[in-house]
């Protein structure tokens, strides 16, 4: 039911192209998963989402447990039937929400307790509860519960959270009951090479169907992230899929692919689309800029998305006039851009040309281009 096959590894960089088989269809990798935290990718219908080329989407245990509740989703046939998405779904465990609500969270060996961001009610999340909720949701891939820290952090804190993540992963594995749902473990360890490798080895010994790299894009510099990936991915099982959680700048995706990562997710395409920023192959375009007022060119002439049927001037007008069509069109464009990007990466890997592909993107997307990109949802 679950199977991952590597079809090609780029000779120069080690970038990988493969296929993850799931009960709801295949996922060709490298792959980008749009984030549908609450059972929807913001502002985009299921049909529009399919048209972007998306293969797999992500939902969130914590948010769906609060609204509408795991019981409601289960009673309506699971997340696929509830949302109408027939392809593969991955659910996050809620570990990042513990991190993001850390000011109100109490974390013990048994569980995390924190207050709902909706009504302030206490919400408890243990490894076993995270598994139970995800089994009710019926996702194809369920993430183990992990302990995420903001970086930089003291070495003792990093080690404590990393070791707890390993113990929680084992508890998640023991609690699993569904045979049609694969669990992915999450490698923690901050920026420390020794701890990352130790964590990867401990989790590899538990033989999960897939492995994620967590605890990055939480405050560290991009160079530090690339360094961590450089020594973490070689310690991960070669024959299992590798997922870098929550990382979504286009330059970070192509850099991570060069370091052996297969899967990605991030809110950046839709978040930035709602804020009038479009991703293009030449770099970000800010639609509110006055220079676009009379520009009759499309965002990208070769892009098949509905936004690119219109001029830059029209798209700018929609945002300046406060029309909801603008954020919708730009979200669709950005999602389409990400799918085209990973498809181009797949092709370059199969042709053993990923090194030149990466060099070209580095030259186009310098840090100045990304300075206004919004990273958080």
What's residue 103's pLDDT? 66
Confidence band, pLDDT 50/70/90 cuts, at residue 152: confident
Residue 370 lies in a domain: no
pLDDT tens across 177-193, in order? 999 999 999 999 999 99
Q: How far apart are CA 307 and CA 298, in angstroms?
A: 8
Per DSSP, the residues of 76-143 read TTHHHHHH---S-EEEE-SHHHHHHTGGG-EE-SS-EEEE-TTT--EEEE-HHHHHHHHHHHT-SEEE
- Average pLDDT over the chain reads 94
pLDDT-based confidence at 368, cuts 50/70/90? very low
Q: What is the pLDDT of residue 102?
A: 62
Look at residue 2 and tell me whether its pLDDT is greater than 60: yes
Q: What is the pLDDT of residues 17-60, one digit of tens each?
A: 999 999 999 999 999 999 999 999 999 999 999 999 999 999 99
At 375 the three-state DSSP class reads coil
The CATH number linked to 225 is 3.20.20.105
Residue 57 placed within a domain: yes
Kindly state whether residue 302 falls inside one of the protein's structural domains: no
Assess if residue 208 is contained within a domain: yes
Residue 75: inside a domain = yes
Rounded CA-CA distance 262/5 in Å is 11
Distance CA 150, CA 138 (A): 30
> Which 3 state secondary structure label does DSSP give 294?
coil
Report how far apart, in Å, the C-alpha atoms of 362 and of each of 250, 255, 283, 313, 320 are: 10, 9, 11, 29, 32
pLDDT at 370 over 60: no
Q: Is residue 41 part of a domain?
A: yes
| Residues carrying an active site annotation | 92, 265
Q: How many CB atoms lie within 10 A of CB 365?
A: 20
For residues 223 and 327, what is the distance between their CA atoms, to the nearest angstrom?
Answer: 31
Look at the block and give the residue holding tokens 């219109």. 310
pLDDT value of position 246: 94
**What 8-state DSSP symbol labels residue 152?**
S
Which domain does 33 fall in, by range? 3-274+332-364
Does 376 map to a domain? no
How does pLDDT run across 96-145, given as a tens digit for each residue? Answer: 887 776 667 889 999 999 888 888 888 899 999 999 999 999 999 999 99
Tell me whether the omega of the peptide bond preceding residue 152 falls within 30 degrees of 0, making it cis: yes
Report the first-to-last Cα separation within the chain, whole angstroms: 33
> Is residue 92 scored above 60 in pLDDT?
yes
Query: Alpha-carbon distance 239 to 260, whole Å?
Result: 12
CA angle 108, 109, 115 (to 5 degrees): 35
What is the distance between the alpha carbons of residues 96 and 267, in angstroms, rounded to a whole number?
A: 13
Contacts of 228 (CB under 8 A, 6+ apart): 191, 193, 196, 213, 216, 220
- Tokens 């961001």 sit at which residue? 117
Position 123 scores a pLDDT of 87
Beta bridge partners of 107: 112
Residue 318 lies in a domain: no
368/91 Cα distance (integer angstroms): 34
The confidence band for 375, taking pLDDT boundaries of 50, 70 and 90, is very low
User: What is the 3-state secondary structure of 170-222?
Assistant: HHHHHHCCCCCCEEEEEECCCCCHHHHHHHHHHHHHCCCCEEEECCCCCCCCH
What does the pLDDT read at residue 373?
A: 61
How many domains does the chain fold into? 1
Q: Which tokens belong to 56?
A: 């797999």
């Amino acid at each position: 039911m679950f199977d991952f096959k590597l079809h090609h590894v780029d000779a120069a960089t080690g970038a990988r192209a493969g296929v993850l088989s799931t009960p709801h269809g295949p996922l060709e990798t490298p792959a980008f998963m749009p984030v549908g935290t609450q059972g929807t990718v913001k502002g985009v219908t299921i049909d529009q989402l399919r048209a972007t080329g998306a293969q797999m989407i992500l939902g969130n245990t914590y948010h769906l447990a609060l609204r509408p509740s795991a019981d409601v989703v289960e009673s309506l046939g699971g997340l696929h039937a509830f949302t109408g998405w027939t392809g593969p779904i991955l659910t996050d465990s809620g570990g990042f929400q513990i991190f993001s609500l850390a000011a109100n969270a109490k974390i013990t060996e048994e569980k995390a307790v924190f207050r709902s961001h909706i009504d302030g009610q206490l919400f408890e999340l243990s490894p076993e509860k995270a598994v139970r909720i995800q089994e009710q949701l019926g996702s194809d891939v369920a993430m183990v519960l992990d302990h995420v820290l903001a970086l930089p952090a003291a070495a003792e804190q990093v080690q404590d959270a990393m070791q707890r993540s390993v113990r929680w992963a084992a508890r998640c594995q023991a609690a699993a009951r569904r045979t049609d749902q694969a669990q992915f473990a999450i490698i923690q360890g901050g920026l420390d090479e020794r701890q990352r490798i130790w964590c990867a080895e401990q989790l590899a010994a538990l033989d999960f169907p897939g492995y994620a790299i967590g605890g990055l894009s939480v405050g560290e510099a991009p160079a530090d992230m690339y360094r961590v990936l450089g020594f973490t991915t070689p310690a991960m099982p070669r024959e299992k899929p590798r997922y870098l959680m929550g990382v979504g700048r286009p330059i970070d995706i192509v850099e991570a692919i060069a370091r052996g990562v297969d899967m990605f997710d991030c809110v950046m395409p839709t978040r930035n689309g709602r804020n009038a920023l479009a991703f293009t192959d030449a770099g970000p375009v800010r639609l509110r800029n006055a220079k676009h007022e009379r520009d009759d060119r499309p965002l990208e002439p070769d892009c098949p998305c509905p936004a690119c049927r219109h001029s830059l001037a029209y798209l700018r007008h929609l945002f300046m006039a406060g029309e909801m069509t603008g954020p919708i069109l730009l979200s669709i464009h950005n999602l389409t851009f990400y799918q085209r990007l990973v498809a181009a990466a797949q092709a370059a890997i199969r042709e053993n040309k990923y090194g030149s592909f990466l060099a070209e993107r580095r030259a186009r997307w310098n840090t100045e281009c990304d300075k206004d990109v919004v990273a958080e949802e």
